[in-house]
Structure 1
Amino acid sequence: MKKAQDELNMWKLEEEKEVYVILSTLTNMVAEYIRELNIDIEAMAYYDFLFAKGRYSKSIDGRSVSFNSKSYIDIKQGKHPLLGRNAVPLDFTSGDKYRAVVITGPNTGGKTVALKTVGLLTMMAQSGLHVPVEQNSEFAVFADILVDIGDGQSIEQNLSTFSSHIKNVINILNCADNHTLVIVDEIGSGTDPEEGMGIAIAVLEQLYDKGAAILATTHYSEIKDFARNHEGFINGSMEFDINTLKPLYKLNIGKAGESNAFLIALKLGMNRNIIERAHEVTYKEKKDYSQYKWEDKLKENYQEVEIHKQKTAEFKEAKKKNAAIERTKAKSKFNLGDCVYISFMNRTGVICETENSKGEYGVMVMKKKLKINQKRLSLYISGEEMYPEDYDFDIVFESKQNRKNKKILSKRHEEGVEVIISKGDSR
């Protein structure tokens, strides 16, 4: 026996040696064509990249654009690729008579989306991708696109909102030149309004002097006046429906926008006297806001909200009831009389006791009752198929004597007669 085992081990070693020889030979054969293989891999990667660009262009309805080196941007019906084809298109022009656009308007009006759309489309075009715009759109080629968007406050670095913005703006000022596009959202925000406004105007002047193309948003009225009076700057605004108080998400270059905070607060239910006093404090003039009457609309909206809440509550309640019914149905995986397959015993048995708190069923196997977890059981034949309706399972699960005693006790009490009930039996 030992001799045979040694011989087997020797042949296994010989087999491993032969496998090594074969693999080494094949590797050497492949290595002779390493240059050709590298060329093929590069070609495959290049064509895969081209096809991916084509598929992406088709998915966003992209088009090719023309380029210039004069910091001139002319976007016709541009759409942010992540917003889909149903997004409100953006028309944007800069770099001809002006190269700095300051956008104003209410919150949630689309100012930040407009900034991101211009910046992202510019980067996509410079990367060789088609962009979702109409024909005859034109983009400038920039050496850098410097952006400060969002709230970069950090507990770890002990930076507030204002500090994080200023840190980004300092880096932008150090890098900006006449080949740079600078995009700044809510410039000068996060601090005292007067000081923030002063910093914002000084930064915009410095960026303009450096020759950068500028796209910025703000709520400061002083910056709107600065853009109106400073050469090379122009105001822009996101259009707003004053009747419905809803943003239209359209950029209107050449006109400054209003934040409409007073009107929005008035529509939401703030007292008209408070709004008029706020207007007087802000603009040093009185204004009558009684012309804006939304009381009826507010009542209708309130009723609609209440109806919506009621329907939502009813829906949630119905959902809970359905879930409870489903849980009740799913609670018992097997029923009495079901024939189940017992995986670890490789044989079948019949469910004789319902599930207990541990997830175990009583299973009759070879005339013995065993407790087996449901995870080790699978349905083989349902009891409905095996037995007729209202079948008396005592015939299967109970001994003859037990059944006889049950019959006696159902009629009368008799001393010495007892019925043995298995633990966990719910029948």
Structure 2
Amino acid sequence: MNENTLNSLGYPQIQKNLAACATSYLGKRYAREMRPMLDARLIEIRLEETAEAAALIRFGASVPIPSLEGMETIMDLLGTGYLFSERDFSHLSQFLRSCVQLMKYMEAKSEAAPTVSRYAASMMGMESLLSEIERCIHSGRIQDQASKELVRIRKKMTVNEERMKRKLDSLVSKHRSIMQENVISQRGGRTVLPIKKEFRKLVKGSVLDESGSGQTVYIEPAELVGLQMELASLQAEESREEMKILGDLTSLAESYHREIALNTETIGILDFLFAKAKYAATMDGRIVHVNANGRVRIQNARHPFMGASMVPLDFAIGHTYSSLIITGPNTGGKTVALKTLGLLTLMMQSGLLVPVSEGGEMAVYREVAVDIGDGQSLEQALSTFSAHIRNMIGILEQADSSTLVLIDEMASGTDPGEGVGLSIAMLEELHHLGATVVATTHFGEIKHFAAATPGFENARMEFDTVSLQPLYRLRIGEAGESYAYSIALKLGMPQRIIERSKVVSDQGVSRHVSPNLTPSVPIVNSAPSPRSSTMEQEHLNKTRNTVKSVNPSAQTGTRKQSDRSETLEPTSPAKAFRKGDRVYAAYLNQSGIVCDLEDSRGNIGVMLRGRKVKIHKKRLTLHISAQELYPGDDYDLDIVLETKENRKKRKLMGRKHVEGLKIELPPEE
């Protein structure tokens, strides 16, 4: 997965949240280094492990995961010749005791969590190493019994210290009247008496220091010199013996290098695993079924950063369609839906439980490619559209059947006409490459394209037309609106501007341009490649020879595409379409038959590939008039517009009542 995708979808925040749930340095490291996996079977195993760990936590278990305090230093220096200190061995002994405790705990949980308990079963006890460390070191200090020599040295030190104490008590009693304070001090590791400066000659010994004011001198009494030299010698012997003991312990620990490394790594894995379980508990994460076939079906999905504040998302793709076009108003939740799907996919592929209902199914993708946000760069002065196109070029280069493509606001940032055409062409290419595509848009042409194209489906974000508030619920199978007029009116836009906008939108700019402006008439110069339904084709094959000369789909022979394009070049837009007219929708690159006349908003009902689509008349071009296509004004158009089954049903219903007989109409978009 590329870093742009991970950053755009918020994956680094997931890593950060997960690391906060870990207790050890290794668990936190594994969380920060976590990446989506590509092997579906491995992902299933990781999900099952996490679900097991989550079940233990859910039932109130407190798993004794060692903190690994001090073990990072030990693992970095073990085997390098470094001499470990008493503190290091205290950390190591605590680690070894924790390992034994964890192994016993997980052994007792082997039935409830068989997969997780196998990790602990692979750990080593190392009782001999633990026993030797505990014999030699306690509370961060080397014990007397660590060696016979150390016992001897410390006994002599004890005797020396007792003699020195008695001598000091005698000296203090003797010189109390000339001491600046009744306190024995240390200077350079030597015991001294604080004597008033004017009485310095009354004490035999060496002046080792003087106070800042010069009123006190610190004298080492001559009677203590011999005792202190003997003590210093014993302390040096003690230090050498302690170094020897630490060296022996270090060598012993190095002989267990492999076992210590194995236990440390295993505890890091278990800590990471239980961190995933703890994180799942914070968002009610569940396990999902995994497939590598692009199928997704989840219910009550929530974005992990929004939690209960988000209206749950129901989403499906990859069963009867692989491309989904989501429409709806701004702030209606379209982008949140995209990011929720993308981030939950990355989480699932990382072995994380996701906040969805039980029984969900998600697909594993080799790549998740996103175009979310305008991606502008002030330094490079890139426009929104330029950044969008740059992203899309990269997506098209890498897309294949194992790619999830998420595109926010298609056709934005440029001329709507060109943007729509370019967007549809890119959608077709992505579909041809086999990618799973989820895109959001405001443009009706794109949703009409989705309605008329196999493998595509529409969806909309619900909107309350009374309160003019988004409901944030996704409805798949329905195309949405932008509700621009309703929202603008509520925000205070004058009614006259709203009405004028409706007139211009319905009838086209050229019919309502100001008298002092010269309207430019768009010229259609792209040739259609209409796709006729089987029923239409059967009828066209029976029509007059004059029709055959116009419609290449009814001709025989092997004419070149250039000839077909020339033959099918559309005529100028008609003033009014008649039922039965064959019309061409350039932005869909498809032809259809007019089945419903123009409504009050200028929309025409067109039968495209067995589906009834409402298209504004300004987006239609007359291809072949009904007068040319069908003989006589009284020709029964139901032969073209109705299925054979429905015609039979209507004929039967005209003669008698038939219980349960229903006319099934094509879906309307």
Q: TM-score, normalised by structure 1?
A: 0.63
Deviation at 1:189, TM superposition (A): 1.3
Q: How far apart, in 1, do the equivalents of 2:381 and 2:373 lie?
A: 17
Q: Are 1:53 and 2:276 matched, yes or no?
A: yes
Equivalent of 1:177 in 400, 406, 423: 400
**What secondary structure sits across from 2:368 in the alignment?**
strand
Percent identity between the two aligned chains: 51
For 2:318 and 2:306, how far apart are their aligned partners in 1? 26
- Mapped partners of 2:390, 2:245: distance in 1: 62
1:188 Cα deviation from its structure 2 partner: 2.6
Q: Distance in 2 between matches of 1:148 and 1:141?
A: 19
Rounded Cα–Cα distance in structure 1 between residues aligned with 2:243 and 2:379:
55
Query: In the comparison of the two structures, how many residue pairs are matched?
Result: 289
1:271 to 494, 507, 511: 494
Deviation of 1:252 (Å): 0.8
Amino acid at match of 1:106: P
Question: Mean alpha-carbon deviation: is it higher for 24-33 or for 270-279?
Answer: 24-33
Q: Name the aligned partner's letter for residue 268 of structure 1.
A: L
Cα contact 1:63–1:134 (8 A) shared by 2:
yes
C-alpha distance in structure 1 between counterparts of 2:397 and 2:364, whole Å: 20
Partner residue of 2:480? Answer: 257
Which string of whole-angstrom CA distances, capped at 9 and with x for unpartnered residues, describes residues 130-174 of structure 1? 111112211112111111111211122332222222211111111
Structure 1 segments unaligned to the other structure (5+ residues): 290-427
User: What are the residue-to-residue correspondences of 1:179-328 with 2, within 5 Å?
Assistant: 179-284=402-507
> What is the match of residue 335 of structure 2?
112
Q: 1:18 offset after TM fit, Å?
A: 5.3
Q: Which residue of 2 aligns with 1:158?
A: 381
* Aligned 8 A contact 1:73 1:93 in 2: yes
- Whether the aligned pair in 2 keeps the contact of 1:60 and 1:84 (CA below 8 Å) is yes
Distance in 2, Cα, partners of 1:66 & 1:135 = 10
1:168 aligns with 2:391: yes
Offset of 1:94 from its aligned partner? 0.7
Deviations, residues 256-285 of structure 1 (Å, cap 9, x unaligned) = 111111111101111100011112222328
One-letter amino acid of the counterpart of residue 147, structure 1: V
- Tell me the equivalent position of 1:348: none
Which residue does 2:265 correspond to in 1?
42
Alignment-mate amino acid for residue 45 of structure 1? G
Quote the Cα distance in structure 1 between the aligned partners of 2:489 and 2:464: 15
1:294 is matched with none
Task: Give, in whole Å, the separation in 1 of the partners of 2:359 and 2:426.
Answer: 33
2:256 aligned with 1:33, yes or no? yes
SS of the residue corresponding to residue 155 of structure 1 reads coil
Alpha-carbon distance in structure 1 between the residues aligned to 2:254 and 2:504: 82
Tell me the residue number matched to 2:288. 65
Identify the residue that residue 366 of structure 2 maps to in structure 1: 143
Instruction: Sort the Cα spacing of 1:21 and 1:216 in 2 relative to 1 into closer, same or farther, 3 A.
Output: same
Which letter does structure 2 place at the counterpart of 1:125?
M
Partner AA of 1:127 in structure 2: S
For residue 50 of structure 1, what is the amino acid of its counterpart? L
Provide TM-score, normalisation by structure 2.
0.41
One-letter amino acid matched to 1:186: E
Contact 1:276/1:288 (<8 A) preserved: no
Provide the rounded CA distance (Å) in 2 between the counterparts of 1:161 and 1:99: 27
Q: 1:28 to 1:241 in 2, by over 3 A?
A: same
> Per-residue deviation at 1:109?
0.2
- What secondary structure does 2:307 align onto? coil
Q: Aligned residue for 1:78?
A: 301
**What stretches of structure 2 of length at least 5 have no aligned partner?**
1-205, 209-221, 513-598, 602-669
- Other-structure match for 2:324: 101
